[in-house]
């Protein structure tokens, strides 16, 4: 077990949205045990409730059934939830760097505002991590001046500097082009090997899931359930050459079969909704 | 200073000045050709001569000062109350529900429609004018600030909460900076309105000074060149004060600058 803890236990979690009395089941009896220091990827078609699950872990949303706990402490159960905190950092799909602050302020604000680190101490760590992912020298720039790939790296560093026990990544590389994505994956894995935080990574990109994960959980289309759990036994450290190995292709084949069925169901359901 | 130097280097500024020069030249030529529309209108040259005499008169600058003072007072109070109210409406659901309908009923009433009631309400004409200038700036600022708060991405708030932000952090580090572009937009639009209002108010109210009053006097006295000088002065006053707000806004929202 890694010293930082961060073992997540998701047991029989259900989530029903009831906006106008018509209950929409977003999550249905999801169970998943994620070990401390594990990089677990959750894959599923759009609208399968992946983001809902993440919001429940982060403390932004409540669950309707079941229980989520971390290192034995209940994070969410029907009728109660632990407020969001630095132990569970989220990196959002659309990005949430504060545009009105510099890169350095963005990265250091968490530990500085909470009083955990001095400003100079936090800045020193920030500079070291920026240099690590090839972004030295951008400290005084505003997020609006950075490319998409740079922003995502800055945002992951910001999350790491808060010393979370678990890092929640919600399709962080969705908006990036394929080439930038490969570089980002390697940067993320480098930071992962460095910090060994528990990571829950959400995506609908299968190749990304296999390349990054220790395990891949394939979710069913709405209502969301875990359909298949695949252990990715590819050696670390990983780099892009892995993408052409036989074992990688086998794993992809296995995952593809599971997800194709679900994607088809989601497609048909979408057609029905439109009709 | 940096702003002025940038303006002097900008091609757009010189093109704009060229447009104004062309307008004046066409007007001068039209006057010389005795176009029927321009029969009673003095040429730019005659207006310029009128302006040259006016800049030496104490009364002309007094008009600037008096109107400027009214605008400043009404505007500062309008912004000073409008910004906090807009922020409060955006942040508190209860306060929003309680105040928004009232604001929406009062807002469409043109500020000048308040004049008859304001005369009864305020002891002096001066206060009446300041109060309707206030109304013009106030509602514009409130609505822009409210819109700004409501447009803040919920993920900024979530990210801040995850990083352990306290409520005052949320206000000072998230809500206020995220809203500041809308605050300055509201302030600039509101500033334009205040000059419209002050001139109209000075024309209809029995008051003894101001640019609007000067124009009305020139009209009564048949001094057409002075009417045009007054109009141009009002335009310039509006331009200068809005420009000031934009500059201030630029300075305080450095992240919006594109290099």
CA pair distance B203, B200, nearest whole angstrom: 5
Chain A hits for B252, CB-CB cut-off 8 Å, are: none
Distance from CA of A109 to the nearest CA of B (A): 8
Distance from CA of B183 to the nearest CA of A (A): 14
Does B164 lie at the interface with A, CB-CB under 8 angstroms?
yes
Query: Per the CB < 8 Å rule, is A96 touching B163?
Result: no
CA pair distance B18, A126, nearest whole angstrom: 51
User: Which of B155, B174, B254 shows the shortest C-beta gap to A92?
Assistant: B155
Enter the ipTM.
0.85
CA pair distance A54, A167, nearest whole angstrom: 10
What confidence category does residue A187 fall into, taking pLDDT thresholds of 50, 70 and 90?
confident
Instruction: Give the mean pLDDT of chain A.
Output: 89
Query: Per the CB < 8 Å rule, is B177 touching A101?
Result: yes
CB contacts under 8 A, B 228-257 vs A, are 253-256
Beta strand pairing status for A65-70 and A215-219? unpaired
Quick one: pLDDT at residue A272?
67
Cβ-in-10-Å burial (0-12, 13-18, 19+) of B81 comes to: middle
pTM score, whole prediction = 0.84
Quick one: pLDDT at residue A259?
84
Distance from CA of B165 to the nearest CA of A (A): 7
**Which residues lie below 8 Å from residue B89, measured CB to CB, with a gap of 6+?**
B95, B96, B99, B100, B103, B142, B146, B149
CA of B252: which chain A residue's CA is closest? A100
Structural domain boundaries of chain B? 58-252
Quick one: pLDDT at residue A139?
93
CA of A144: which chain B residue's CA is closest? B255
CA pair distance B256, B177, nearest whole angstrom: 11
Alpha-carbon separation of residue A226 from A2, A154, B22, B168, B228 (angstroms):
26, 31, 72, 40, 77
Q: Which CATH number fits domain B58-252: 1.10.3720.10, 3.40.50.1820, 1.20.1070.10, 3.40.50.2300?
A: 1.10.3720.10
Buried b (16+ CB within 10 A) or exposed e, A222-254: bbbbbbbebebeeeeebeeeeeeeeebeebbee
**Residue B189 vs residue A21, higher pLDDT:** B189
Distance from CA of B151 to the nearest CA of A (A): 14
User: Which of A99, A113, A144 shows the shortest C-beta gap to B169?
Assistant: A113
Quick one: pLDDT at residue A2?
43
Full pLDDT tens readout for chain B, 259 residues: 567 787 778 888 899 999 999 999 999 999 889 888 888 899 999 999 999 999 999 999 999 999 999 999 999 999 999 999 999 999 999 999 999 999 999 999 999 999 889 989 999 999 999 999 999 999 999 999 999 999 999 999 999 999 988 899 999 999 999 999 999 999 999 999 999 999 889 988 777 789 999 999 999 999 999 999 999 999 999 999 999 999 999 999 999 875 4
Tell me which of B159, B172, B253, B256 to substitute to probe the interface with A (most A C-beta atoms closer than 10 Å). Answer: B159
């Amino acid at each position: 077990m890694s010293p930082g803890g961060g073992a997540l236990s998701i047991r029989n979690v259900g989530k029903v949205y009831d906006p106008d009395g018509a209950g929409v089941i977003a999550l249905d009896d999801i169970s998943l045990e994620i070990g401390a220091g594990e990089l677990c990827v959750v894959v599923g078609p759009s609208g399968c409730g992946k983001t809902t699950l993440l919001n429940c872990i982060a403390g932004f949303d409540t669950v309707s059934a079941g229980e989520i706990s971390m290192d034995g402490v209940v994070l969410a159960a029907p009728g109660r939830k632990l407020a969001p905190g630095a132990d569970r950092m989220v990196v959002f799909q659309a990005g949430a760097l504060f545009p009105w602050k510099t890169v350095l302020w963005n990265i250091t604000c968490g530990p500085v505002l909470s009083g955990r680190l001095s400003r100079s101490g936090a800045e020193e760590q920030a500079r070291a991590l920026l240099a690590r992912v090839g972004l030295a020298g951008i400290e005084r720039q505003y997020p609006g001046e950075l490319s998409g790939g740079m922003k995502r790296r800055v945002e992951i560093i910001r999350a790491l500097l808060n010393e979370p026990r678990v890092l929640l990544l919600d399709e962080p590389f969705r908006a990036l082009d394929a080439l930038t994505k490969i570089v980002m994956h390697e940067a993320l894995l480098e930071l992962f090997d460095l910090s060994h935080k528990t990571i829950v990574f959400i995506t609908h990109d299968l190749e990304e899931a296999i390349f990054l994960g220790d395990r891949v959980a394939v979710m069913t289309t709405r209502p969301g359930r875990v359909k298949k759990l695949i252990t990715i036994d590819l050696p670390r450290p990983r780099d892009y050459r892995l993408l052409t190995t036989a074992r990688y292709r086998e794993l992809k084949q296995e995952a593809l079969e599971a997800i194709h069925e679900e994607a088809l169901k989601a497609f048909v359901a979408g057609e029905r909704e439109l009709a | 200073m940096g702003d002025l130097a940038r303006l002097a280097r900008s091609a757009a500024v010189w093109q704009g000045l060229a447009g104004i020069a062309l307008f004046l030249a066409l007007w001068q030529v039209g006057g010389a050709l005795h176009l029927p529309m321009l029969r009673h209108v003095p040429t730019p040259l005659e207006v310029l001569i009128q302006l040259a005499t006016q800049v030496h008169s104490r009364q002309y600058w007094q008009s600037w000062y008096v109107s400027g003072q009214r605008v400043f007072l009404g505007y500062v109070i309008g912004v000073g109350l409008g910004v906090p109210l807009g922020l409060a409406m955006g942040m508190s659901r209860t306060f929003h529900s309680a105040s928004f309908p009232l604001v929406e009923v009062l807002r469409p009433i043109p500020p000048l429609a308040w004049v008859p009631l304001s005369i009864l309400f305020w002891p002096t004409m001066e206060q009446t004018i300041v109060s309707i200038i206030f109304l013009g700036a106030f509602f514009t600022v409130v609505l822009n600030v409210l819109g700004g708060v409501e447009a803040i991405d919920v993920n900024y708030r979530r990210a801040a909460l995850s990083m352990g932000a306290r409520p005052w952090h949320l206000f000072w580090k998230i809500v206020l900076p995220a809203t500041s572009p809308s605050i300055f937009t509201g302030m600039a639009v509101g500033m334009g309105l205040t000059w419209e209002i002050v001139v109209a108010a000075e024309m209809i109210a029995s008051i003894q000074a101001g640019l609007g009053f000067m124009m009305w006097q020139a009209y009564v006295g048949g001094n057409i060149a002075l009417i045009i000088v007054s109009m141009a002065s009002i335009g310039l006053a509006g331009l200068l004060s809005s420009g000031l707000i934009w500059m201030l806004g630029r300075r305080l929202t450095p992240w919006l600058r594109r290099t």
